Amino acid sequence: MSRLRQAVNDTSPGLVCDDPLQVLDDVPAIELSGPAGERLEAVLAALPRR
């Protein structure tokens, strides 16, 4: 499973940033790194406040 996870991790940024199918024009994307347990905090901190 770790090879599959690595392949997905290597491919995902290109698909999201390059958007070859042009389906993510209005969708903001952030790239996360670090421990999985801290990623929720990073996502919530990156969201715009209303």
Per-residue pLDDT at 40: 87
Give the range of the structural domain holding residue 39, as residue numbers without chain letter: 2-46
Q: How far apart are CA 39 and CA 30, in angstroms?
A: 11
pTM of the complete model: 0.44
Per-residue pLDDT at 14: 82
Domain tally for the chain?
A: 1
On the question of pLDDT at 41 being above 80, the answer is: yes
Per-residue pLDDT at 25: 80
User: Which of 35, 36, 40, 31 has the alpha carbon at shortest distance from 13?
Assistant: 31
What's the pLDDT tens digit per position in 3-40?
998 888 888 878 888 877 788 788 777 777 778 788 88
Per-residue pLDDT at 49: 81
Query: What's the Cα-to-Cα distance from 43 to each of 4, 13, 39, 40, rounded to whole Å?
Result: 24, 16, 6, 5
Q: How far apart are CA 22 and CA 50, in angstroms?
A: 28
Region of 26 (left: φ > 0; alpha: ψ -120 to 50; beta: rest) is alpha
